Chains A and B, each alone.
Chain A
Amino acid sequence: MSYLPKILAFVCTYCAYTAADMAGSARMQYPESVRIVQYLCTGRIDLLHILKAFEAGADAVLVGG
Chain B
Amino acid sequence: MEYAQYLLEEVGLEPERLEMYEIGASDAPKWVAAVQEMTERAQALGPNPLKQGASHPADVLDFNQPGEEK
Contact = CB atoms under 8 A, between A and B. Distances in A.
A–B interface present (Cβ within 8 A):
yes
Interface of A: 1-3, 5-9, 11, 14-16, 18-20, 22-23, 26, 28-31, 33-35, 47, 50-51, 54-65
Nearest to B1: A63
15 contacts: A5-B42, A19-B26, A19-B28, A28-B28, A54-B13, A55-B50, A55-B60, A56-B60, A57-B48, A60-B18, A60-B38, A62-B20, A62-B34, A64-B21, A64-B22
Contact of B18 (A14, A15, A57, A63): A63
B28 A26 contact: yes
Contacts, number: 133
Main secondary structure of the interface of A (DSSP, over half): mixed
Given A33-B35, A33-B39, A62-B35, 13 more contacts: A3-B43, A5-B47, A15-B27, A22-B26, A28-B28, A33-B38, A54-B48, A60-B39, A62-B34, A63-B19, A63-B20, A63-B21, A65-B21
Contacts of B4: 47, 50-51
Contacts of A54: 8, 13, 17, 48, 50
Q: Pick from A8, A9, A30, A51 the residue with the most CB of B within 10 Å.
A: A30
